[in-house]
A = this chain, B = another copy of it.
Amino acid sequence: MNLYEHEAKSIFAQFGITIPPGVRITKPEDLRKIHFGFPLTLKCQVLSGGRGKAGGIKFAPNLKEGEEIARTLLDMTIGGSRTESILVEPKVSIARELYLSVTLDRTRGCPIFIGSAEGGVEIESSGKVVTVPIPYPFQPYVARDLAQRLGLTGSLAVKVAALACKLYKAFETLDLDLAEINPLVVTTGEDVLALDGKIIVNDDALGRQEQFKGWQSKHLGDLTERESRSRLMGLNLVELPGDIGILCNGAGLTMATMDMVKKFGGNPATFLDVGGGSDQEKTMFALEIVAENPQVKVILLNILGGITACDDVAEALVGFMKKNPEAKLVVRLRGNNQEVAEEMLSQSGLKLIPDLQTAVGEAIAKSKVPTCAAR
């Protein structure tokens, strides 16, 4: 779950990291109540990246222009994510910018600090990136090692190390996937503060992080309406520009099915993993949400029974066909109780195709039939 900048900053503050003073506004007029003195920085609160390049950060020299800017910013949508509010901050006198984050490193299998002596830029493109693996349990020396590797010395090294300890503490305590400060600013007064930040909370940990209870529905970001609904049902739906709705059990199998559809000339309209169990309600929901998409000409269902019982899936299919007699379905089912499923499906006029490649071929063929005939 991505957080808005202002949320990330309040978490930083909660863990003792200095942030600039700031006020969140949702109407241009709110600007009149802010007494930081101009110029002010106005920042779109969106869940996507690339905000700066998209023009989501502006400097207001005075109130009149500020209100104008605020109006524009509040209307923006960046990377599919609508502006939720504007964060207004006074300008900070910057002596130096750094980059600092904590995230998990797949290769090492542990959290790492990522730092750069150059902040404010795309970290991937900076040549001065330093990574330091964080042993378990954490001790502050790791943060000092980071500061030293960044080339920092003296009291600045000590301050940055202390801040990095706090950032790690937030990362661990709140089950974050990413805790990023960019830029980490050294002011002309040698204070270090988080001028901008990004926090991603681990989705699997939401059930134990009381602090984020109920946040998920407001942080779906650039998901489509159907993707959002699926997410809240615990299903992973990704909508794509094609016309073949793909439903499978298992992420790898779903991707492989998509890949085959594409390879043999079709165009996937959905990636939808219905998961491991044979929950009829979930399967039904999945079929309905794919069918809802007006782009979808044909649904390719590919279930390889391991845990999943084919007859349970068949029952969901029979129910779905009753409600949607015009839907075009290609069904690949294989696994437990396959014969029972075949019998059940045949009564609904559905053929059970045991071979994946054959099913993919059939789905592509059906998708090529002109739309008027398909529905």
The distance from the CB of A172 to the nearest CB of chain B, in whole angstroms, is 12
A136 — nearest CB in chain B belongs to which residue? B137
Query: Which residues of B sit under 8 angstroms from A137, Cβ to Cβ?
Result: 136-137
- Alpha-carbon gap, A137 to B135, bound state (A): 13
A119-140 vs B, Cβ < 8 Å mask (1 yes, 0 no)? 0000000000000000011000
- Interface residues on chain A, number (Cβ under 8 Å): 2
- Alpha-carbon gap, A91 to B136, bound state (A): 46
- Alpha-carbon gap, A260 to B205, bound state (A): 64
The distance from the CB of A138 to the nearest CB of chain B, in whole angstroms, is 10
A135-148 vs B, Cβ < 8 Å mask (1 yes, 0 no)? 01100000000000
- Alpha-carbon gap, A137 to B136, bound state (A): 9
The distance from the CB of A136 to the nearest CB of chain B, in whole angstroms, is 8
- Alpha-carbon gap, A136 to B137, bound state (A): 9
The distance from the CB of A87 to the nearest CB of chain B, in whole angstroms, is 34
The distance from the CB of A109 to the nearest CB of chain B, in whole angstroms, is 17
A137 — nearest CB in chain B belongs to which residue? B137
- Alpha-carbon gap, A215 to B168, bound state (A): 33
Query: Which residues of B sit under 8 angstroms from A136, Cβ to Cβ?
Result: 137
A283-313 vs B, Cβ < 8 Å mask (1 yes, 0 no)? 0000000000000000000000000000000
The distance from the CB of A135 to the nearest CB of chain B, in whole angstroms, is 12
- Alpha-carbon gap, A267 to B366, bound state (A): 107
- Alpha-carbon gap, A1 to B157, bound state (A): 38
- Alpha-carbon gap, A42 to B137, bound state (A): 45
The distance from the CB of A153 to the nearest CB of chain B, in whole angstroms, is 28
- Alpha-carbon gap, A137 to B139, bound state (A): 13
- Alpha-carbon gap, A136 to B136, bound state (A): 10
The distance from the CB of A284 to the nearest CB of chain B, in whole angstroms, is 38
The distance from the CB of A323 to the nearest CB of chain B, in whole angstroms, is 46
- Alpha-carbon gap, A168 to B136, bound state (A): 20
- Alpha-carbon gap, A95 to B111, bound state (A): 48
2 residue pairs, one from A and one from B, having the closest CB atoms: A137-B137, A136-B137
Report 2 cross-chain contacts, Cβ distance below 8 Å, ordered by A residue: A136-B137, A137-B137
